[in-house]
Amino acid sequence: MKILKHPIFYISMLVAFAIYIAQKFVLPLPNWVYFYMNDFLCMPIVLSLCLATIRIIKRTESLYVPLLIVLILTTYFTLYFEWLMPKLNTRYTFDKFDIVLYYLGALLFFRYQKRLF
């Protein structure tokens, strides 16, 4: 799978995991890293995994995620994590900038998926 072996995918996963570990161990990082970086990385990681899964199922490397699907999945994530979860769990908070970052990450993935993967 080209996607799962691509350095950008590995780096994105590593950065997201490192931030998660830093939060667990309360390591000092700038607030923007804690609050916004994983929101930006979320959709490229999720969409890359979705694309890899579809390619495995269909057994072809020529499929790409269409813009409509990218927007639908991103809207689902924003509704779930920025609207529903803050109502159900105090750990989650609504932040308009998070929504912007979800869409920026998704559009970045859409723009470069054919060149990268």
Give the predicted TM-score (pTM) of the model. 0.91
**What is the chain's length?**
117
Angle 7-24/38-58 helices, nearest 10 degrees? Answer: 130
Q: What are the per-10-residue average pLDDT scores of the chain (117 residues)? A: 86 95 93 94 96 94 95 98 96 95 97 87
